[in-house]
């Protein structure tokens, strides 16, 4: 199933036949694959055929995402922490910090297990290491958030350069290469987007696209990077949801006529499962104020969900339900869980993602927004709020419920959308486009076959 049909992803919401589930849960992937192929030879409704073909693709990716034995994880950890032992791994395993699957008779750990264990902070029984760069990043972030809180409204202009290149070992002369690099969409808090320069011939999606990118197409005779440089304005508004804040917001409130679209289920991931409905009911209680209800959901996620680097979303079948049951997830998993619980409670909520473009670090990031009158759409970042909670910084945690720092580039305003020039083959990331996608006329490139880069060139505070 190398060809990609975006519409078929909805079939992930269907349950697999029991035989296939049993084989897969037991780590018998070849048996699961054989069972799928047998069923595909029979009469099936189109949706189940799509579901089984998707599972074939997932089975191909699972061993790649879970490659390490326990012994290999311990060996990796000892490079950073010489005193790390198998007992430490088993202890982390019992606490739910080490994600694994059963494969061919043994536990196989996720490819980023060592990174997850190093990221646990105070939860581990080994000596902590100081990270001066991380402390400097937090210092700049705190100072900037404090400034937004004091001024109430502040704006910055940011200039970013993004690039994608095919690695030499994957390059083939004469290939027609198509590349999608994300660029900012014109949606709050981003405005005044300008594409300053780019490589070669390219087409740019419309400014208000919910999945905006610049697309390059070239028959390559020589290998070279594709790049785009752009500039945009970010306006940050501080909301503390006090009576004064509410009164101030009334004067600039503009209703969104499409707000009802953000109350619906969107299969496969924004799915109102029985467990999520029960959790939402418990969190909402008898509260009728949407802001207070959203805050209860935010508090639950930031206080209970452990930040964890994940398997690729392509092989996850119901992200919010996974997060709620396992209390584990990265920024996107937490954002989707917040969105889904809000929608169950009757609060419109939507996705935003792109880049976190801090002077000390640039990387992919996801967050959420919810809608409440008279504020309109307000940002919520559960993963940044959870980080503040773990640091014991309640002021910063409060900030990320309703306010946002300026270090954001939002290219994606919705989850699991199609490019304006559709891809033919499976993308690296089926959920959104944060660092770039590439394919030839014959196949899609895997993550290990391309190199991507993002750089914050400049940022300046503007006078309002």
Q: How many domains does the chain have?
A: 3
Query: For the residues 122-148, what does the mean pLDDT come to?
Result: 83
Sorting pLDDT into bands at 50, 70 and 90, what band is 2? Answer: low
Task: Specify if 31 maps to a domain.
Answer: yes
Considering the domain architecture, whether residues 144 and 228 belong to the same structural domain is answered as yes
81, 103, 123: which is the final residue of a domain?
123
From residue 436, alpha-carbon distances to 22, 51, 142, 419 in Å are 36, 27, 30, 11
Considering the domain architecture, whether residues 144 and 229 belong to the same structural domain is answered as yes
Sorting pLDDT into bands at 50, 70 and 90, what band is 142? Answer: very high
3-state secondary structure of 128: coil
Q: Taking Cα atoms as reference points, which of 160, 170, 197, 165 lies closest to residue 452?
A: 165
Considering the domain architecture, whether residues 210 and 148 belong to the same structural domain is answered as yes
Sorting pLDDT into bands at 50, 70 and 90, what band is 7? Answer: confident
Task: Specify if 289 maps to a domain.
Answer: no
287 pLDDT more than 90: yes
- pLDDT, tens digit, for every residue of 353-380? 999 999 989 999 999 999 999 999 999 9
Sorting pLDDT into bands at 50, 70 and 90, what band is 106? Answer: very high
Task: Tell me how crowded residue 78 is: count the other CB atoms within 10 A of its CB.
Answer: 13
Q: What is the model's pTM?
A: 0.94
- Higher per-residue pLDDT: 380 or 95: 380
3-state secondary structure of 182: strand
Query: For the residues 48-63, what does the mean pLDDT come to?
Result: 94
pLDDT the model gives residue 373: 93
1 pLDDT more than 60: no
% pLDDT > 70, the chain: 99
Sorting pLDDT into bands at 50, 70 and 90, what band is 123? Answer: low
Considering the domain architecture, whether residues 31 and 94 belong to the same structural domain is answered as no
Considering the domain architecture, whether residues 82 and 96 belong to the same structural domain is answered as yes
Considering the domain architecture, whether residues 145 and 192 belong to the same structural domain is answered as yes
Q: Which two tokens stand for residue 410?
A: 């939002």
- Higher per-residue pLDDT: 457 or 2: 457
212 pLDDT more than 90: yes
Packing angle between helix 29-40 and helix 18-25, nearest 10 degrees? 160
Sorting pLDDT into bands at 50, 70 and 90, what band is 411? Answer: very high
Q: Taking Cα atoms as reference points, which of 381, 373, 434 lies closest to residue 405?
A: 381
Distance CA 410, CA 459 (A): 16
Considering the domain architecture, whether residues 36 and 110 belong to the same structural domain is answered as no
Task: Tell me how crowded residue 330 is: count the other CB atoms within 10 A of its CB.
Answer: 20
Considering the domain architecture, whether residues 223 and 142 belong to the same structural domain is answered as yes
Query: For the residues 210-236, what does the mean pLDDT come to?
Result: 97
Backbone angles phi, psi at 69, to 5 degrees: -80, 170
Is residue 293 left, alpha or beta, with left meaning phi > 0 and alpha meaning psi from -120 to 50? alpha
Task: Specify if 143 maps to a domain.
Answer: yes
Considering the domain architecture, whether residues 179 and 201 belong to the same structural domain is answered as yes
Q: Which two tokens stand for residue 210?
A: 């919910």
Give the number of residues written for the chain: 464
- pLDDT, tens digit, for every residue of 432-442? 999 999 999 99
Distance CA 370, CA 402 (A): 9
Q: Taking Cα atoms as reference points, which of 235, 196, 228 lies closest to residue 213?
A: 228
Task: Specify if 129 maps to a domain.
Answer: no
Name, of 231-235, 255-259, 421-425, the range with top average pLDDT.
231-235
Task: Specify if 163 maps to a domain.
Answer: yes
**Mean pLDDT taken over the chain:** 93
Task: Specify if 175 maps to a domain.
Answer: yes
Query: For the residues 14-31, what does the mean pLDDT come to?
Result: 95
Domain of 197? 135-234+441-462
Task: Specify if 91 maps to a domain.
Answer: yes
Sorting pLDDT into bands at 50, 70 and 90, what band is 173? Answer: very high
Considering the domain architecture, whether residues 61 and 74 belong to the same structural domain is answered as no
Task: Specify if 140 maps to a domain.
Answer: yes
Distance CA 149, CA 133 (A): 24
Q: Which two tokens stand for residue 363?
A: 């990387």
Query: For the residues 166-179, what does the mean pLDDT come to?
Result: 96
Task: Answer for the pair 217, 181: CB distance below 8 angstroms, yes or no.
Answer: no
Considering the domain architecture, whether residues 59 and 76 belong to the same structural domain is answered as no
β-pair partners for 361: 358
Query: For the residues 388-414, what does the mean pLDDT come to?
Result: 95
């Amino acid at each position: 199933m190398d060809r990609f049909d975006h519409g078929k992803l909805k079939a992930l919401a269907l349950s697999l036949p029991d035989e296939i589930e049993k084989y897969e849960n037991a780590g018998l992937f070849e048996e699961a694959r054989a069972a799928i192929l047998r069923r595909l030879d029979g009469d099936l409704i189109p949706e189940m055929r799509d579901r089984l073909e998707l599972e074939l693709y997932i089975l191909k990716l699972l061993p790649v995402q879970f490659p390490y034995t326990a012994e290999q994880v311990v060996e990796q950890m000892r490079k950073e922490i010489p005193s790390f032992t198998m007992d430490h791994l088993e202890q982390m395993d019992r606490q739910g910090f080490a994600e694994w699957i059963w494969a061919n008779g043994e536990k196989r750990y996720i490819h980023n297990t060592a990174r997850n264990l190093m990221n646990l902070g105070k939860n581990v029984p080994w000596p902590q290491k100081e990270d001066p760069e991380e402390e400097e990043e937090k210092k700049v972030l705190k100072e900037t958030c404090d400034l937004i809180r004091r001024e109430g409204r502040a704006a910055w202009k940011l200039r970013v350069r993004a690039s994608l290149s095919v690695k030499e070992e994957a390059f083939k002369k004469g290939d027609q290469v198509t590349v999608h690099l994300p660029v900012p969409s014109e949606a709050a808090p981003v405005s005044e987007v300008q594409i300053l320069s780019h490589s070669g011939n390219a087409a740019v999606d419309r400014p208000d696209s919910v999945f905006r990118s610049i697309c390059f197409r070239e028959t390559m005779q020589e290998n070279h990077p594709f790049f785009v440089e752009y500039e945009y304005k970010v306006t940050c508004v501080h909301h503390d949801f006090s009576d004064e804040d509410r009164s101030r917001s009334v004067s600039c409130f503009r209703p969104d006529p499409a707000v009802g679209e953000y109350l619906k289920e969107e299969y496969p991931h924004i799915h109102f499962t029985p467990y999520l409905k029960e959790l939402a009911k418990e969190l909402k209680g008898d509260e009728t104020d949407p802001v207070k209800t959203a805050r209860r959901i935010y508090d639950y996620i930031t206080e209970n969900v452990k930040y964890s680097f994940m398997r690729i979303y392509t092989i996850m079948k119901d992200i919010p339900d996974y997060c709620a049951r396992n209390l584990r997830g990265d920024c996107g998993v937490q954002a989707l869980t917040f969105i889904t619980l809000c929608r169950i409670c009757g609060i419109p909520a939507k996705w935003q993602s792109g880049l976190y473009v801090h002077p000390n670090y640039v990387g992919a990031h996801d967050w959420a927004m919810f809608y409440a009158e008279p504020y309109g759409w307000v940002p919520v970042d559960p993963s940044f709020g959870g980080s503040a909670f773990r640091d014991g910084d309640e002021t910063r945690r409060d900030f990320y419920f309703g306010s946002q720092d300026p270090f954001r580039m939002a290219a994606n305003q919705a989850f699991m959308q199609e490019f304006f020039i559709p891809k033919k083959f499976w993308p690296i990331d089926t959920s959104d486009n944060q660092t770039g996608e590439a394919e030839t006329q014959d196949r899609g490139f895997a993550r290990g076959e391309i190199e991507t880069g993002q750089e914050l060139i400049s940022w300046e505070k503007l006078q309002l």
